[in-house]
Amino acid sequence: MTPLEDRAHAIRAQGNLPRHVAVIMDGNGRWAERRGQPRIFGHRAGMKSVRAVIEAAGDLGIEALTLYAFSKENWRRPAPEVQALMGLLRRYMKSEREELVQRGARVEAIGDLDQLEPSAREELDRLIEATSGCERLRVTLALSYGGRAEIVAAARRIARAAVAGELDPDALDEAGFARFLYSPHLPDPDLLVRTSGEMRISNFLLWQIAYAELYVTETLWPDFDRAAFFEAIEDYQSRERRFGKVMA
């Protein structure tokens, strides 16, 4: 076995794996700038890391992976960068489709998907459809995503249901609220990974990360490979989660 296979084996043997890992993929721009290249060069390189992390999560037996691919705020970047990112995403969704099916990755998306360009939306729908029978790993792409917007959208749907007499406001509890969020079928993330050293949440999964363990690494996203993902998981395995309680 190679050292990386040994490591994967040891991680699996230890158990105590996160069921759901969420990732803020940051640092593509800086990675490119350090090489004197345009920012899009970094985003392109970042796609390799997306592949590596999906493979690694599947191999470890992690159930769900949510990737922050494009935030609502990202629309405010210069138009050429937004265009290039949309083009990259479209190409990724097309070129990786077969590979994702082979890997058993079921792809879904959260966010304001109506904002996507029609051609990107079509590729996304095709990818979702092609992988809909896959069961090994659930991959959720956050696209045009904002955590506050998700909570507001849920509140809006709840208010409508209450007005229609389908929901009793006094009976609404946390679990009832969460059923109106974008991905009610996923467990909350156990681990939130952020690359490139920034200590921020950036409007990602605000409701769902209430008890997530945070892991921030200085590694820039294009350098985040299989070994880097294993390191994040090993770090998680060494922690004691208390969910606000005291351990006996």
Of 26, 28, 59, 190, the catalytic one is 26
Shortest gap between Cβ of 118 and ligand FPP (angstroms)? 18
Output the CA torsion 228→234→238→243 (10° steps): 80
Residue 66 interacting with ligand FPP (CB under 6 A): no
Binding ligand FPP by CB under 6 A: which of 23, 54, 124, 141? 141
Site string for ligand FPP, 74-113 (x = CB under 6 A): x-------------xx--x---------------------
CA–CA separation, 41 and 122 (whole Å):
24
Q: Which residue is nearest to ligand FPP (CB)?
A: 29
In terms of Cβ atoms closer than 10 Å to its own Cβ (0-12, 13-18, 19+), residue 113 is middle
173 is catalytic: no
Instruction: Return the beta strands (E) in 196-245 as ranges.
Output: 213-216
Residues 19-38 that bind ligand FPP (CB under 6 A): 25-30
Restricting to residues 176-235, name those near ligand FPP by CB under 6 A: 196, 221
Tell me the CB-side half-sphere exposure of residue 85, using CA atoms within 13 A: 22
Of 6, 16, 74, 203, catalytic? 74
CB of 39 to ligand FPP, least distance (A): 6
Minimum Å gap between C-beta 8 and ligand FPP is 23
Burial of residue 77 (CB within 10 Å: 0-12, 13-18, 19+) is: middle
Q: Which is nearer to ligand FPP, 71 or 154 (CB)?
A: 71
* 123 burial type by CB count under 10 A (0-12 exposed, 13-18 middle, 19+ buried): buried
Element (H, E) at 88: helix 79-95
Give the three-class secondary structure for 214: strand
Residue 188 annotated among the catalytic residues of the structure? no
Q: 18 or 27: whose CB is closer to ligand FPP?
A: 27
Q: What is the CA radius of gyration of the chain?
A: 19
Active site residues: 26, 74
Q: Which residues bind ligand FPP (CB under 6 A)?
A: 25-30, 39, 43, 46-47, 50, 67, 69, 74, 88-89, 92, 141, 196, 221
